[in-house]
Structure 1
Amino acid sequence: MNSLGFPKAPASTRVVVAMSGGVDSSVVAGLLVRQGYEVIGITLQLYDHGAAISRKGACCAGQDIHDARNVAERLGIPHYVLDYESRFRQSVIDEFADSYVRGETPIPCIRCNQRVKFRDLLQTARDLGADCLATGHYVQRVVSEGGQAQLLRGADPRRDQSYFLYATTPEQLDYLRFPLGHMEKPEVRRLAEDFGLAVADKPDSQDICFVPNGDYASVVTKLRPEAAEPGEIVDEAGRVLGRHDGVIHFTVGQRKGLGIAGPEPLYVLRLDAAKRHVVVGPKASLARSVVYLRELNWLGDPIPADGLAVSVKLRSAQPAVAATIFADDNNAARLELFEPEYGIAPGQAGVVYQGERMLGGGWIARTAGKSVPAKAEIAA
């Protein structure tokens, strides 16, 4: 077996590398070239010029495409730029805007992986006769004794990206490879220097790729003006406490920026987009112990009827918490948290783990309850 798990020499193994122009994917290409694989680099042009979303461009556009091309030239590999603007607009940007209109807090990076990179790009890699598609994500792929590909957290917990890949299907995981999953970022940058890549010191992207200035509200307003219509800030009883400039400026759990004062700190409890209401209240009213997931993608064994003890991440930057997951009909699931959590926002993802293994997850549809279910044994 070669390092990618194929029973043949690296020179006989064709690998497509998704090259975004950043240091991570560039190092993946460099590593595979060093190991003797036949490497093809592909960069997706995602920025929708027609939408005029940003003057500075976006991930996989402009400077990033230029950087990816230069890396490919340095490594001596073929490189192709594919125009995915219309697909990206339809599959990611439009839904991002629609989600805000519904009063949700979306994560477009998950949809991009699900509907563009791991669907369309993966099919392009197959069409090119590649044995696999390699990316620069910080996750680990292992194969069980039974031959099942499993997805584990990245070895560096500060870089782990498994939360954003929960929608990866078993068929996709069979085809994907993640050469950086066992590394830490400083090592990756050192390798970029060893390969003589100009992107070795390139900063990591901090914003949503098509919102490089972090001003997502202006993007949503441009695409869905109704999301910026003013409305009222109300308490749990419906009493008007103030006014706002659009529900797109708020998320569940938010405390700052409300512009109202009270005897105790107030938090956003929920968004009623239909009424254009931002409902606020004390922190205690944010407590939720039941989370309902839709569009469940599951990579583990079937969930037992009496539930499965797991840990779950309810936001990408928050640690996982203990829960029991129950399977519902229509690719849905219910999470019962061992301890109430605060600020769980519809539109985010609930991603499920056992130990280091990522089992799957779904979009948070709604939350309920403040009662605490009985505790059970769980892998951290």
Structure 2
Amino acid sequence: MSSNNISPSIISEATLLDNNNDTLITEITQYFINRGFQQNLVNSFLTRNSCLEFMTNEEIMFDFLDEREQMDPIIFIGVEGNEGVEPGEDKKLLVKWGLTEEASNKLRDDVHDSIWSQQFLKYWLLDWIYNQWDTTIQMDLKTVFYDSKFLYDQWYYDREKGPQMFASSFEKIINIGEDSLIMYNTKITNAMDINYKAFFYSTTYENVQSINEIGIDLTCCRNHLDFGKNQSFYLNPSLDNAIDFIKNRWSAGFYGIIVYWINMKKLKSMKYQDLTQDENLWKEVVVASRCGQRSVVDNNDFVYGYQLSNPRQIRNTYYNKNNKSNKKKDLWKKLIPMAKWFEPIYNFQLAVKNDDAVEIINNYQVGLHPGVDSVQW
């Protein structure tokens, strides 16, 4: 046999690795494009990064912005019209940092000069990336939040929106503590009732306001998450974990935490599944769900259990295998041993899975914590 011959198995494995990388780069590139970045700059950056599969999209985006900052360390131009500031310089800088001209124009034009000059470029870029904010709401909140006469870090009651607390930082909420947040809430009549449990949902300020006004909308949720093939709304029983979610996913801007005081006895009387009682069942459910397959919890109202720590690994492995000639639907079952939850601290979650369940949870909403500015963390 010629020394130039290459084993077919080696060719197959190399091709599979190349396809895996191409698929991942395509997925991440789209994530950037959806947030207004220039595709050519993103592609160049991603093809030079060998650690994509070990990082979240948000971490990759941080690395991208860090690289842009190193290439052009100017992080503040000033307000055009002032001495030494040429018209359009801010927009040109945004383009240098990776945004398209269209995204740069919209971002800069939507920010009032007096507000723009108070923050560095990276602040506005991150705010744009993660929030795609409604400018009017964002600016109004800033005006109120930085008013020295405005009271924050304590509950107040809005006749239309119910109890709210504007917090000056994530640290303030943590220091206040979960027990105090519950005990001093005017909608909770008995904070010591053992049938009730507090749950939290963290998101952008705009999303908080939307949920507060119209309730949970499952059509805005993602499918193929941990506890079911279809769209579900996920609540967190840990205040610390809810805050960690904001800190890890978004880095600048105004956010909110919605508080739910839930009658667990009521939930357990419905189609309720606790996956913490059976590790094997948990693995089967989360792998099936992440691979877009039906599982035993798809017809449930509520599902409670651990968060999956390696969804990307499972999904990529499944879809790469499923693209081969042997397309059996049960291929996902071979991935069950891969499933693992967050360690050493277990992160829990409650999935709200259908409209009947949503109606119940909406009635258990008891308060908001809007106005968290993570820049102060």
The bucket for the TM-score relative to the shorter chain is: under 0.3
The structure where strand makes up a greater share of residues is 1
Structure with more contact order per residue of length (Cα contacts < 8 Å, sep ≥ 6):
2
Q: TM-score, normalised by structure 2?
A: 0.25
Hey, which of these two has a bigger chunk of helix by percent?
A: 2
